[in-house]
Amino acid sequence: MKLVVQEAPALKSAIDSIVSLVEEGQFEVKADGLHLRAMDPSQISMVSFHMPKSAFVEYNVPEERKIGLDIGQLSNVLARGKKGEKAELSLEDGRLVVKFFADKRKRTFKIPLIEIGEGLSREPKMEYTSHAKVTAEALKETLKDAKLVSSHVKLLLDKNTFLIEVRGENGDVKEEFEAGGGEVSEIVTEKGARATFPLQYLEDMIKATSGSSIVTVNLETDRPMKLQYEIEGAQVTYYLAPRIETD
C-alpha cells in the first residue's frame, strides 16, 4: 500500500474533519479511495468520510485493507507536514508509516495500529426533502452568536428562508438568511422543517471547513440532521440526532 498526497497540509485538513468527533477509527483502504464510518463516543453523531483515489497523486492498493488508528495521534503527526512537502502513507510491521518529503529531505513517522471493532457498514437510510446550502463562515459566525445564550440551537427551513433560533437564560438570538444571498445559495423544501440540536456538535462538525466552503444542511422535522461538505477532495457526511422538544 502506498498513498501519496501532493501537499501534506491538505491531508491534515481532510483528517481534521474526523478528529473533531471521533477519537479512534478504522479506515478502509479500497480500490476507489480511503473510507471511514464511525460514531462519536456519545453515540449522538456519526461521520462518514471518503477521500477518493483522485485526491492522491499516487494510489497503489494491491488489496483492500482495514487500518485501526488513534485519529488524534494521526492528526498530530500530519500537523508536522509543511507546505511544499508531499505526504506518503504506507504500512510496515503493524504500523502506519507517514513520510513527508520535498527535494532532498525526508521525514518518517510510524504510528501503531490498534484493534477496533468492525464499525458501521453503511450510512443511515433516510430520505431528506429539505436542505439549505450555506457558507461555512456564516454557520460558524451564527453558532458563535448562539453560544452566548444557549447550548442548543433550533434550525428552521421554509420556502425562502433558513433560520436559526436560540432561547436561553441569557436571552434570545434569531438569525435569518434568505436564499440567493451571499451566505445561502439554495433552499429546497416542500413542507418546511425544524429541529433542535446540540450546538457543540455542530461546531465540531464544521470546525475543519474554510470560510468559503459550502455546507449542505439536510433537515427534516425532529429527525437527525445530515450535514455535508467537501474538503481537500474528500467528501464528509455527518448525522446528528435532534433534541426532541416537549413544548
CATH number at residue 101: 3.10.150.10
How far apart are the C-alpha atoms of 32 and 55, rounded to whole Å? Answer: 10
Both 69 and 140 in one domain: the answer is no
Which pLDDT value is given to residue 246?
54
Segment 98-117 mean pLDDT: 93
Per the domain annotation, does 118 fall within a domain? no
pLDDT at 107 over 90: yes
* Banded model confidence at residue 122, pLDDT cuts 50, 70, 90: confident
pLDDT of residue 120: 63
**Looking at the whole model, is its pTM more than 0.85?**
yes
Which structural domain, as residue segments, surrounds residue 14? 2-112
- C-alpha dist (Å) from residue 67 to 35, 49, 172: 10, 14, 46
In a domain, 123, yes or no: no
pLDDT at 153: 96
What is the pLDDT, as a whole number, of residue 139? 95
**pLDDT tops 80 at residue 118:** no
Question: Based on the domain organization, do 88 and 166 belong to the same domain?
Answer: no
Residues 95, 149: one domain? no
pLDDT at 244: 73
What's the mean pLDDT when you consider all of the chain? 93
Local structure of 225: helix, strand or coil: strand
106 and 184 fall within a common domain: no
Number of folded domains in the chain?
2
CA geometry: angle at 225 spanning 219 and 231, to 5°? 105
